[in-house]
Amino acid sequence: MAKIVGGVTTSHIPAIGNAIAKELFEDPYWKPFFDGYPAVRAWLDKVKPDVAIVVYNDHGLNFFLDKMPTFSVGAAFEYENRDEGWGLQPLPPYPGDPELSWHLIESLVADEFDICSCQEMAVDHGFTVPMSLLWPDRAARTVKTIPVAVNTVQHPLPTPARCFKLGQAIGRAVESYGKDLKVVVLGTGGLSHQLDGERAGFINKAFDLMCLEKIVDEPETLARYSIHDLVRLAGAQGAELILWLIMRGALGDKVSKVHSNYHIPISNTGAGLLVLESA
Amino acid sequence: MPLQPSPTKDPIPGTVIFDGAMAMRGYALNKMCYSFNEEAGRAAFLADEDGYCDRFGLNEAQKAAIKARNALDLIAAGGNIYYLAKFIGMLGLNVQDVGAQQTGMTVEEFKAKLQAAGH
């Protein structure tokens, strides 16, 4: 049977993609951020996941406002990265696992999560930056991917409680899959940041640190916030915490913390990193 | 009558919630910015800004905000930051530049504010 071995949360800021392309790993601005990642890669080398379910938000590459699904699950043989308009070089496609995708889709809909299935799905920096951070050696990367995209563009956004429950449903779906596969779930984005408005540059370190702590053993306390609470406490784009809650829901009741890191600022963001292993 | 933004119990200063009302107001503007994902869209805009805005049906407030490169006006006109980011990036600006513009700071002051959040 398939098993969720753990989860990783990481910021997915486009500037990280630029810094990787320019190899700024030792640059004083970037070093405290990049230094958080070798421990994550060591953990991935140890657990050797076959599939990564990547929970992210599309920032206007695959979806426009003409059709804005709340939850979308990729069901493709591969996922293309494309030009987002600001100069990040598109990366080669990411292999999918359509058989597991369709199992997820069947299971989620049976479980009353009426997601949008996508046989074509371009993935943007929200997906590619975490993949580059976790598996920098593309040639050696064997992990297959399933993108799960969540609307964080146009309100109403799904509530934190709903996202946590979706994660739990993803967990049940994976555990009911007949093949022996090890699955890791990535919750991307966050933590606090706001790009737009007179409040641009808002970062809430105390809130971020509280989230990094509570999501380990008391995720329900975070799931009680409203989206409006998250916008107020973590900034307009800090609502991406819902992506972390999906990851956490998928991992089940008990997890152990393997590693964490937190650094301010990367671009306009409090950058949080967490590795959780399933019990 | 256009749909009015939903009244929030608790408005957040300096923050526009991009809801259905804003998404309707900004549809043409955001659609134009979405086209900047493609090189052809960017080139066509840069070759003839006014003509390109007209092709997408931008209203006068949206056209003026595009012309002025004014982020707060673009947001007030219904622009969503994720689509606007494509316009901003095309101009060679980043989110610190735009943060500084929106907060009335220099870019150095804005970066210092971000650094200070870590202490």
Number of folded domains that form chain B: 1
Residue A142 pLDDT: 95
Provide the domain limits for residue B56: 20-92
Enumerate the residues of chain B whose CB falls inside 8 A of the CB of residue A195: 81, 85, 95, 98-99
Q: What is the DSSP string of B52-96?
A: HHHHTT--HHHHHHHHHT-HHHHHHTT--HHHHHHHHHHTT--HH
What SS3 class is residue A84?
A: coil
pLDDT, tens only, B12-52: 999 999 999 999 999 999 999 999 999 999 999 999 999 99
In a domain, B10, yes or no: no
What SS3 class is residue A47?
A: helix
Structure tokens at A253: 């009741």
Number of folded domains that form chain A: 1
CATH number of the domain bearing residue B45: 1.10.700.10
The answer to whether A124 touches A32, Cβ cutoff 8 Å, is no
Give the C-alpha separation, A245 to A57, whole Å: 13
pLDDT band at B4 (very low <50, low <70, confident <90, very high): low
Judged against a pLDDT cut of 90, whether residue B108 lies above it is answered with: yes
Chunked into runs of 10 residues, chain A (279 residues) has average pLDDT values of 97 94 96 98 98 98 98 98 91 98 98 98 98 94 97 98 98 98 97 97 97 98 97 97 98 97 96 96
Among candidates A111, A102, A94, which has minimal Cα distance to A73?
A102
**Active site residue: A12, A103, A193, A263, which one?**
A193
In a domain, B42, yes or no: yes
In a domain, B71, yes or no: yes
Contact between chains at A153 and B82 (C-beta distance less than 8 A): yes
Provide the domain limits for residue A228: 3-278
Sign of CA dihedral A68, A72, A75, A77: positive
In a domain, B32, yes or no: yes
Nearest CB to B86: which of A82, A86, A196?
A: A86
Judged against a pLDDT cut of 70, whether residue B5 lies above it is answered with: no
The residue type found at A33 is F
Min Cα–Cα distance to chain A from B115, Å? 6
- Return the C-alpha torsion angle A136, A139, A140, A145, nearest 10: 70
Enumerate the residues of chain B whose CB falls inside 8 A of the CB of residue A196: 15-16, 71, 75, 81, 84, 102
In a domain, B9, yes or no: no
Q: Is A73 left (phi over 0), alpha (psi -120 to 50) or beta?
A: beta
Enumerate the residues of chain A whose CB falls inside 8 A of the CB of residue B85: 59-60, 85-86, 195
CA distances from A141 to A128, A134, B93 (A): 13, 10, 33
pLDDT, tens only, B97-106: 999 999 999 9
Min Cα–Cα distance to chain A from B77, Å? 12
Q: Is A103 assigned a catalytic role?
A: no
Tell me how far the alpha carbon of residue A102 is from its chain's centroid: 20
Nearest CB to B42: which of A85, A153, A156?
A: A85
CATH number of the domain bearing residue A68: 3.40.830.10
Give the C-alpha separation, A122 to B61, whole Å: 32
